[in-house]
Structure 1
Amino acid sequence: MSAESHPTLPPVRLRSDAELARDALTAPLFARAVRLARWAGPATRVGVGGELAAAQLPEAAAHLGLDPADADSAGYASQAWRVAVDTGLVDVTEPEEERAADAADGEATGTAAPGEDLALVTGGTPGDVLDLWLAALDTVLADAAVPDLDDLADALDAGGGIDFDRLDWNPGREADFLDGVLANLYLLTAAGSGGPADQPVPLPVLAASMVVPEGMGEPSDAVLEQVSDAMMRLDDQFRQLEPIGLVEFRPVDEELMAEAADEEIAAGGSGAGAEEDEDVSRYGMVRLTPLGLYGIRARLLEAGADAPAVGELAGKGADALLDAISHYPESAAQAEIEQWLAGRELAAAVTELLAAARGDDEGGPLRRLRCQQALAPAGPEAEPAVRSVLDDAELGGLARVWLAERGVADVPAPDPEMVFWLTVDTIAAQLAADGETEELALLMETLTAHHAEFFEQVWRTEHPSTAAVLEAMGRLHPDRGTAKEARKAAFKARSRRP
């Protein structure tokens, strides 16, 4: 899985390893692989590639509780066996090539037996089970990137071989496409709530994320056709990925496929020309399961992506905490803060947080905003540590706000310089956290409405972000005259700094 498209991702909330391991063991395909591994024995025969001999597929299907007469049962048994072999749940001894070649019916005579790793299913740690499941996932993903049997049949040449040019199938390209789709699905899941998203993603949205060029307005007919083709590929692939527990999937409605032409499907699913009352779920819906979120994150980490999980910072210092959560969504930042504070002596933790919040670097304002968020739930035991920074140029304003919110007496009033410094710091933090929002513009309007001499004084503030904040006010302030004053003040602030 390539990490190039998503080098840094939002944090996700993962279930415990024990919960995830239980999910893995109940995933239908993995559970079947375990059952076949326990079934394997001296009478089990395999082919040259370790595949289960055709004559034994009905018996394997019956052992799995499937109907051997059902045409699909052999395929299910074969896939489960392949997963068992690839994960080490089964050890195979392939037949010697000479013996296989001499077999009259072409059947091989290798043997199979339960592998050493099978014991990990019941006797290993949750981490051991998850490692086995990840190996199974690799097998399923590789299978999902292979064209379906109909496409392979159409691409057979006169000699019975596969014409790859006719098939237009590049294994590396197909694997990269599926990896990209899953990375985008992970990103949509992570960005939704810092954890498993409540709502599934429409299949056309995922298809469009891989096909439609960034910044493109109304998609052309050619692009819509590509979206439709990608949708149908994903429909087939997610059907294969659901049994391993990676996703919850609602396939494309078969009646819809019978009713609509390709371009109508693409237009309807992408929102171009769809009726307002169209049920988008008919075009397919997918979401990562909690186990799937874990699995794709593991693959992204292996590829070198920065894919944080909430709780990873619990054992690190306050400086690492504030630096990391500065770029987290607010809900994920709050969850990380709560886990970091748990088990720490509060007064010492508050002292450490305040020390880490200092700094006149570019990230300082956002660190102080997250520090303020971390201090919000703290009770009276934090007061001595907060009072100790009342005279600090960078933290004094923050401390006064915290104390005032709790109705603490004897809090000294800030001098004008500290008031302006805190104002600049707060706006700079909001800009870094959320960008130039309408809410920030309203804050700026309220601020200047209650202070007639605001711009005349604020440009003198010894804060490294003073000029940048004033320039933002010049862009965002709804009153044109006031915005012009902000730009003039920004010019003065720039001029006075070396």
Structure 2
Amino acid sequence: MSADPHPTLPPVRLPSDAELARDALVAPLFARAVRLARWAGPDTRVDIGGELVAAQLPEAAAALGLDAAGEEGPMLASQAWRVAVDTGLVDVTEPEDGDEDGEEESGTAVPGEDLALVAGGAPGEVLALWLAALDTVLADAAVPDLDDLVDALDAGGEIDFDQLDWNPRREADFLDGILANLYLLTVTERGASDGPVPLPVLAASMVIPEDMSEPTDAVLEQVSDAMMRLDDQFRQLEPIGLVEFQPVDEALMAEAGDEEFAAGSVAGAADDEDVSRYGMVRLTPLGLYGIRARMLEAGVAAPAVGELADKGADALLDGVCGYPEGAAQAEIEQWLAGRELPVAVAELLAAARGADEGGPLRRLRCQQALAPAGPDAEPAVRAVLDDPELGGLARVWLSERGAADVPAPDGAMVFWLTVDTIAAQLAADGEAAELPLLMESLTAHHAGFFDQVWRVEHPATAYVLEAMGRMHPDKKAAKEARKAAFKARSRQS
């Protein structure tokens, strides 16, 4: 029996599509792209590739209210225009090669059909446009900055890619890996949760090998280089609404040399000393949505709380078996909210049955689902009192509510429920620190526990006893558990 059934990624909790669509529409870069799409008209002229001609960039910047941005205004307008073209907010007709006199002609641009979706489309249609915009921004972020491109120009004015040491696929994979790690840190309930993640932590996650206890100077330098790349990339990703970003403190870089900066960034992240000066980043709810969508497209299992609400009870229990407890509770509550309680309880109890490996954890999640249920659930619970797999669970639920006429369980049911409970906890949390105390509590109430429990007709009996032999805090009881596990294995074989 496996002790770790959890999927690679925990489930993410996302706002509704309507809330996410509103976030998309106010993301600065996307909002600028929409405004330029509405600005486009008969006088708009584009170059090869659909780029605005240079002479029109100041006009576009003015349309965006960027007159006071100086040289940055046309650059921001050019970026927003590229997003508008790539998302279909603008339709362009590219110019011909040139006329008979050899003069280049300009192409034209008009608002695209998809522009109407911004105001009149469903939330999902708005989010699809935003995802297309995100693809454009991610592609741009993986390109070296202008200074690196200028430094790599050869004598003929061509880019020397060997000198640049830039591999587009490698850069895109690096950024995807960083965003995947940031996503995982965000959705892991025992990890960073909703707090910002230090840039050194992200950089180290991609650079420092897991088996390296003390990073070398060369590795620390790679971490420093990765941090500076990420500092530039997250600056580009913030305007599309993907992240909230606090850049690296430029004064810090000026104060320290390269080696000192590299070592200090890792030490600072570990010691939480001035860590914010090394940069902090957080995925927004829209960012979580966007990265999850890209993961799903790549075939990665990235569940979201609420996606089981319209499934059957069997799919619900199987699904939440892989969720952390808090996410499982949230998913169960959404599932119950749309159903009549007596019918839902009966369905949950039926789905909890089974002698398969996942049975114990299904029953634990079923018990979790029934915990807040009121008197309307009692008839369905009483209906399984004689069920060998659910009778113990039913008695516990009824007794906790002070119900009358709850039949006492026989010895076989008590031992079976004990094995099932420990098997479920092992499946949910592995060999967690709290489990030895549970084992001690369960065995303390039964004289001769290990002389009887090895005979229990439960598929996890030997597995549970072996775990008790490793984990029981009482050495004598642990030894008895190992002997009982041997008997159970022999009996099964």
Q: Does 1:287 align with 2:282?
A: yes
* Residue 478 of structure 1, CA deviation: 2.2
Is contact 2:86-2:133 (8 Å) kept? yes
Is contact 2:198-2:269 (8 Å) kept? no
* Residue 100 of structure 1, CA deviation: 11
Alignment deviations for residues 463-494 of structure 1 (CA, whole Å, 9 cap, x no partner): 11011111111111222222111111110110
Is contact 2:454-2:462 (8 Å) kept? yes
Assess, with a 3 A threshold, how the Cα gap between structure 1 residues 286 and 273 changes in structure 2: closer, same or farther.
Answer: closer
Is contact 2:268-2:274 (8 Å) kept? no
Q: Does 1:252 align with 2:253?
A: no
Q: Does 1:142 align with 2:139?
A: yes
Q: Does 1:118 align with 2:111?
A: no
**C-alpha distance in 2, partners of 1:269/1:356?**
51
Aligned with residue 207 of structure 2, among 205, 211, 216? 211
Is contact 1:58-1:68 (8 Å) kept? no
Aligned with residue 362 of structure 1, among 354, 357, 361? 357
**How many pairs align?**
488
Aligned with residue 195 of structure 2, among 196, 199, 205? 199
* Residue 8 of structure 1, CA deviation: 3.6
**C-alpha distance in 2, partners of 1:128/1:254?**
40
Is contact 1:48-1:100 (8 Å) kept? no
Code of the aligned partner of 2:253: M
Is contact 2:98-2:105 (8 Å) kept? no
Code of the aligned partner of 2:360: P
Alignment deviations for residues 290-332 of structure 1 (CA, whole Å, 9 cap, x no partner): 1111111111111111111111111111000000000101111
Assess, with a 3 A threshold, how the Cα gap between structure 1 residues 288 and 69 changes in structure 2: closer, same or farther.
Answer: closer
Is contact 1:32-1:80 (8 Å) kept? yes
Code of the aligned partner of 2:169: G
Aligned with residue 469 of structure 1, among 460, 464, 467? 464
Aligned with residue 124 of structure 2, among 101, 104, 127? 127
* Residue 101 of structure 1, CA deviation: 9.1
Tell me the SS of whatever aligns to 1:296: helix
Assess, with a 3 A threshold, how the Cα gap between structure 1 residues 108 and 262 changes in structure 2: closer, same or farther.
Answer: farther
Q: Does 1:24 align with 2:24?
A: yes
Query: Partner residue of 1:73?
Result: 73
Query: Partner residue of 1:181?
Result: 178
Deviates more, 1:361-370 or 1:119-128: 119-128
Assess, with a 3 A threshold, how the Cα gap between structure 1 residues 209 and 284 changes in structure 2: closer, same or farther.
Answer: same
* Residue 261 of structure 1, CA deviation: 2.4
Aligned with residue 392 of structure 1, among 387, 390, 394? 387
**C-alpha distance in 2, partners of 1:377/1:100?**
80
Deviates more, 1:7-16 or 1:18-27: 7-16
Alignment deviations for residues 248-276 of structure 1 (CA, whole Å, 9 cap, x no partner): 000111111111223333333323797x5
**C-alpha distance in 1, partners of 2:31/2:101?**
34
Assess, with a 3 A threshold, how the Cα gap between structure 1 residues 91 and 440 changes in structure 2: closer, same or farther.
Answer: same
Assess, with a 3 A threshold, how the Cα gap between structure 1 residues 15 and 272 changes in structure 2: closer, same or farther.
Answer: closer
Is contact 1:57-1:77 (8 Å) kept? yes
Within-5 A mapping of 1:13-412: 13-67=13-67, 70-99=70-99, 102-103=102-103, 108-192=105-189, 197-271=193-267, 276=271, 278-412=273-407
The unaligned stretches of length 5 or more in structure 1 are 1-5
> TM-score, normalised on structure 2?
0.96
Is contact 1:41-1:114 (8 Å) kept? yes
Alignment deviations for residues 215-259 of structure 1 (CA, whole Å, 9 cap, x no partner): 321222221111111111111000000000000000111111111
Is contact 2:201-2:269 (8 Å) kept? no
The Cα RMSD (Å) is 1.8
Aligned with residue 447 of structure 2, among 445, 448, 452? 452
* Residue 355 of structure 1, CA deviation: 0.5
Alignment deviations for residues 364-398 of structure 1 (CA, whole Å, 9 cap, x no partner): 00000000000001111111110111111100000
Code of the aligned partner of 1:27: A
Is contact 2:200-2:269 (8 Å) kept? no
Assess, with a 3 A threshold, how the Cα gap between structure 1 residues 99 and 278 changes in structure 2: closer, same or farther.
Answer: farther
Tell me the SS of whatever aligns to 1:287: strand
> TM-score, normalised on structure 1?
0.95
**C-alpha distance in 1, partners of 2:70/2:422?**
66
